[in-house]
Amino acid sequence: MRATTPRAWLVLAIVGLMAVLLAACEADEAEDPEDPDDGPEEADDPEEADDPEEADDPDDPDEADDPDDDPDEEPDEAPAEGGTLEVARSADVDNLDPHLATAFQSREALELIYETLVEFDQDLNVVEGLAEDWEYTDDETLVFHLRDGVEFHDGGALTADDVVATVERLTDPDSGAVAGINFGTIESAEATDDHTVELSLSAADQTLPAAFADANAAIVPEEAIEAETFDDDPNGTGAFEFDEWDPGSVFRLSANDGYWRDGPFVDAVNIRVVPEQSSIAAGLQAGEFDIGVLEDPSIVLTLPEEEVDIHRPDALAYRTLMMNQEREPFDQEEVREAITCAIDREEVLESAALGEGRVTGPFTAPEWQFDPYGGLDCDPPDPDHAMDLLAEAGHEDGFEASAIINSDGYATAVDEGQVLQAQLAEVGIDLELEVLESGVYVDRWIEPDFDVAVALNGGRPDPHNMYARYFGLDGDLNDVATHESEEIDSLIADGLAEDDVEARQDIYREISEQLNADAPWAWLYTGFEYRITQPDVDGFVPFSDGSMRSLRDVSIGQ
Amino acid sequence: MRATHWRFLVRRLVGAVLTLLGVSVVVFVVLRVIPGDEITVMLGTEAAGLTDAQRASLEAYYGLGDPLVVQYFGWLGNVLTGNLGVSLRSGQPVGGLIANALPITVQLAVMATIIGVALGLAFGMLAASRPGGLRDATAQGFGLLGLGTPNFVVGAVLIAVLSTQFGYFPSAGDYVGFFESPAANVGQQIFPAITLGTALAAIVMRTTRGSYLDMWQQDFARTAVGKGVHPQRVRWRHVLHNALIPIVTITGIQFGYLLGGTVVVEEIFSLPGLGRLVLTGIVQRDFAVVQSTVLVIAALFVLVNFLVDLLYALIDPRVKLS
């Protein structure tokens, strides 16, 4: 055999590699005939492109109230049927039991399988769901009238008994149901006939309808509770049926043909786990995904807006700097107020989140947003006033403190910490940053074992469900908030019982101002719940609570 | 088989068992030392709202109440009978999760090794063919670049270029097994394999160059050339053959590392392999998954090392199995 020279070897190796590479590219293209590159061009159709914008308009309640009509409102074409919707997000489902699953990604996936008695519309008003009507017959009785003809995926009919069993599971402290905290006033549930459920309350509670709209309050069949089959056989009334969960990889759903609403318009939904957000962005640009869920503004801003639709509903979750009042000097109101005055929220938003969001006060839901600075002793930022306040509290030379930061919970955390560190340094406060992995952070947060915590707190559409737990004296997170105020506690109780919306707003405005005045935390900003869709995805409606239940209305254009 | 071979086998086997026992203890302890119990991690900040009764019922539900020693020996006993436990999160048997993930990672490691060795050998020989020359400098420059560039950068660049320029994203869809469709499967693995392979290529290149030049200086090579054997024949027959030994060793060790070191690449390219299984397991404090997967990776590492030793003896009969 003649010897080959090294040069020939090199050429061989490179040619071989390139051949494999080319073969791979071609193979994939050949297998994907339904994904033509001309997809983005079709998006130039102005009507289609405008649609999401219109849906964003909060002044257009009709459209949001009745998403069912959406597909019919397209006069030029009927919704295209069929196809598989590929959804990409970075985290996996963590639990198939809708009452135990807390992670956003689980709730959002399970919402497609299970449904609730009532729902939120796009403006976060409570609208009908499995119940077509509900009423408070007196202060302490709430009655739900169920829709007729709704079936679970296994063919069983939805009855009042299922609702009663669900409510009993939700309110049973031993069940571990995470929404239980919102149903504390329910004493008993009773089926008065096949389609009517009567809840007896221990006290007036106007927040229950909103609490029943929560994904964690999904209605499950009575038999599933008895047989505990949530983990291997999810059986709901939703638009999609559970097919398969391949942990860490994909969560597969297929259309429920017997769904009681119009739709769904696609055959299947695959929710894929793509851990790296930049890989999701790349996949969206390559047309591999129909919908992508992103959190990091710096990655979203790299996406070409002319190629994909970027939906930016305001998030309910909010960034805040929590101060531990069990530690000095944060037990002094002047110190906390000084910190609040020293922080430039606009600058935090600009630097950490590239301006993607809005500065916020205590309440973040659309109907409950008041002046973010109302009740504060300064119109921030006001470092001079902050220094005066510090001097008043005996800290004219400043002090040292440390902040815990969640390193892997969300993208902007460390940046927020650094901006806050720089801003507080200007008034003499030396903030040391402790960047911690999620598990450690949560442990320290719960304890609470921190001076201050850079936090992302989840939001709820109803202010009661959001704030009673932190600032009500009996709240389950009151030990973490470390702020005890009789005044706020009694205002929270008033807000719970008040049935007039305007009167409720007055109460929550008062709470908001009082919270700013007490300054237990410095509220910073809310971001966006980014949802990125391909131009040929029709009927997608983004929600502030992150929900993707509009997938039941979505179709994929040709 | 000769007695020395048996002795070698038995010694390696005992060593392997001890190593794996050690790994099992370390993993078990480390997992429980890191702060954040699985319930807290699972519920996140919601865990603050748990009453004692709720926490106790969740612990009972997930079987976390037993003392640690009982948990450890329970786990070990199960592993010995082939039961790797059940994932706390997904409720699925860990054995099944590993069975799904393992082929992906092994294939990735094999492909990366092939790419790494092919490129490394070619560049190494090229560099050694004229030491100190331009070729050498160029090849070494590439080597340095390969060694110095972290995997995640190579991967990110590959994805960025391929998806934005060519609209090609390799790993978004369902993972396709090799026997279902070899072309599609290789298509999904090729970029991650290149990402890992380039780092390996750099190491192989440097080893090849060094070892080749070293052998070229040896008496047997000089003698052969002196006796009139054609230098090309000496180069390929004698020198390369001898130079292969350190290359095989380094490749074997690197292959072992690849099996456990695919975490970053699997994360970037969303390949559902072992690395991702372990990483998600750690983040979620899914003890059963992490413990058993790490044990399997360790066992593979031990196995690969053993095979490398055998290969060693095959290439060079002078190497005794002892």
pLDDT digits (tens, 9 = 90+) for A60-92: 434 334 444 444 444 444 555 789 999 999 888
Cβ pair B272:A173 closer than 8 A:
no
> From the list A96, A181, A276, which residue is nearest B267 (CB)?
A276
CB pairs under 8 A between A and B: 194
Indicate the range of A116-125, A295-304, B254-263 predicted with least confidence: B254-263
Lowest mean pLDDT, pick from A52-66, A330-344, B22-36, B95-109: A52-66
Q: Is A53's pLDDT higher than 70?
A: no
Helix (H) or strand (E) holding A293: strand A291-293
Q: Which residues of B touch A479 (CB under 8 A)?
A: 48
Q: Do B45 and A176 touch (CB under 8 A)?
A: no
HEC readout, chain B? CCHHHHHHHHHHHHHHHHHHHHHHHHHHHHHHHCCCCHHHHHHHHHHHHCCHHHHHHHHHHHCCCCCHHHHHHHHHHHHHCCCCCECCCCCCEHHHHHHHHHHHHHHHHHHHHHHHHHHHHHHHHHHHHCCCCHHHHHHHHHHHHHHHCCHHHHHHHHHHHHHHHHCCCCCCCCCCCCCCCHHHHHHHHHHHHHHHHHHHHHHHHHHHHHHHHHHHCCHHHHHHHHCCCCHHHHHHHHHHHHHHHHHHHHHHHHHHHHHHHCHHHHHHCCCCCHHHHHHHHHHHCCHHHHHHHHHHHHHHHHHHHHHHHHHHHHHCCCCCCC
- DSSP states of A371-421 as a string? -TTTT-SS-S--HHHHHHHHHHTT-TT-EEEEEEEETTT-TTHHHHHHHHH
Candidates 1.10.1040.50, 1.10.3470.10, 1.10.3720.10, 3.40.640.10; CATH matching B101-282+297-302: 1.10.3720.10
Structure tokens at A513: 């101002």
Condensed to tens digits (0 to 9), the pLDDT of residues A199-218 reads 999 998 988 999 999 999 99
CB contact under 8 A, B159 and A442: no
The top-scoring range by mean pLDDT among A138-142, A319-323, B76-80 is A319-323
- Confidence (pLDDT) at A264: 93
Beta strand A196-201 with A141-146 is antiparallel
- Set of chain B residues whose Cβ sits within 8 Å of the Cβ of A4: 236
Q: Identify the pLDDT of residue A36.
A: 34
Average pLDDT over all residues of chain A: 84
Cis peptide before A234 (omega within 30 of 0): no
- Token pair of B69 as six digits: 């020693």
List the single residue in A176, A248, A440 with the smallest CB-CB distance to B58.
A176
DSSP state of A181: G
The model's pLDDT over A448-477, given as tens digits with 9 standing for 90+, comes to: 999 999 999 888 888 888 888 899 998 888
H/E run at residue A186: strand A186-193
Q: Is pLDDT at A39 greater than 50 in this prediction?
A: no
ipTM: 0.73
The pLDDT value recorded for residue A3 is: 39
Q: Which of A4, A15, A28 to mutate to test the interface with B (most CBs of B within 10 A)?
A: A28
DSSP 8-state assignment for residue A20: H
Contact of B164 with A304, CB cutoff 8 Å:
no
Give the pLDDT band (50/70/90) at residue A301. Answer: very high
Of all residues in chain A, the percent with pLDDT exceeding 70 is: 85
State whether A286 and B172 contact (CB < 8 Å). yes
The predicted-structure confidence for A221-245, as pLDDT tens digits, reads as follows 999 999 888 888 899 999 999 999 8
Range with lowest mean pLDDT among A279-288, A455-464, A509-518, B85-94: B85-94
Does residue B190 have a pLDDT over 50?
A: yes
- Please name the residue of chain B whose CA is at the shortest distance from the CA of residue A282: B163
pLDDT at residue number A404: 95
At residue A68, the pLDDT reads 41
The reply to whether residue B187 touches residue A17, judged by beta carbons under 8 angstroms, is no
- More confident position, B308 or A126: A126
Q: Is pLDDT above 50 for A1?
A: no
Which chain A residues are Cβ-neighbours of B91 within 8 angstroms? 96, 231-232
pLDDT number for residue A459: 84
Q: Looking at beta carbons, which residues of chain A come within 8 Å of B173? A: 86, 288
pLDDT, tens digit (0-9, with 9 covering 90-100), for A403-417: 999 988 788 999 999
Please give the Cα distance from A534 to B18 (Å, whole number). 54
- Identify the H or E element spanning A315: strand A314-323
- The pLDDT of residue B41 is above 90: no
**What whole-number percentage of chain B has pLDDT above 70?**
90
CA distance A384 to chain B (A): 35
What stretch of H or E contains A86? strand A84-89
Q: Hey, what amino acid is at B39?
A: I
Query: Which residue, among B43, B121, B142, would best test binding to A if mutated, counting the most A CBs under 10 Å from its CB?
Result: B43
pLDDT at A47 over 60: no
Question: Which strands form A314-323's sheet, in the order they lie side by side?
Answer: A358-359, A521-528, A314-323, A452-457, A399-406, A429-436
The whole-number average pLDDT for the span B236-243 is 74
Inter-chain CB proximity B51 and A173 less than 8 Å: yes
Q: Residue A477 in contact with residue B76, Cβ under 8 Å? A: no
Picking from B36, B118, B194, the nearest residue to A439 by CB comes out as B36
Contacts for A382-387: CB closer than 8 Å, 24+ residues apart: A382/A341, A382/A342, A383/A341, A383/A342, A383/A426, A383/A427, A385/A338, A385/A341, A386/A338, A386/A339, A386/A341, A386/A342, A386/A427, A387/A338, A387/A427, A387/A428
- Residue predicted with more confidence, A505 or B2: A505
The mean pLDDT value for A342-368 works out to: 92
Answer whether B190 sits within 8 Å of A21, measured CB to CB. Answer: yes
Distance from the Cα of B319 to chain A's closest Cα (Å) equals 27
- Closest-CA residue of B relative to A252 is B174
Tell if the pTM clears 0.80, that is, is over it.
no
Lowest mean pLDDT of A392-396, B57-61, B304-308, name the range: B57-61
Contact across the interface for A285 and B119, Cβ inside 8 Å: no
**Residue A20: partners with Cβ closer than 8 Å, 6 or more residues away:** B186, B190
pLDDT at B25 over 60: yes
CB B304 within 8 A of CB B252: yes
Ramachandran angles phi, psi of A401, nearest 5°? -150, 165
Per-residue pLDDT at B319: 59
Residue B316 banded pLDDT, cuts 50, 70, 90: low
Nearest CA in chain B to A307: B164
Whether residue A141 has pLDDT greater than 90: yes
Tell me which residue in A10, A174, A279 faces B270 most closely, judged by beta carbons: A279
Average pLDDT over all residues of chain B: 80
* Contact at CB, A279 and B187, closer than 8 angstroms: no
pLDDT tens-digit map of A428-453: 999 999 999 888 888 889 889 999 99
* Identity of the residue numbered A118: V
* Shortest Cα–Cα distance, A295 to chain B (Å): 17
| Whether the predicted pLDDT of A50 surpasses 60 | no
Among A529-533, B23-27, B117-121, B179-183, the range with the most confident prediction by mean pLDDT is A529-533
Pick among A4, A7, A10, A290 to test the B interface (most B CBs inside 10 A): A10
pLDDT bracket for residue B158 (50, 70, 90): confident
Specify the 3-state DSSP secondary structure of A189.
strand
Average pLDDT of A129-142? 93
A506 versus A55: the higher-pLDDT residue is A506
* Spatial distance between the Cα atoms of B184 and B170, rounded to a whole number of angstroms: 9
Which residue of chain B has the CA closest to A292?
B172
What span, in angstroms and rounded, lies between the C-alpha atoms of A25 and B162? 10
- Chain A contacts of B115, Cβ < 8 Å? 17
Residue B285 has pLDDT above 90, yes or no: no
| pLDDT exceeds cutoff 80 at B30 | yes
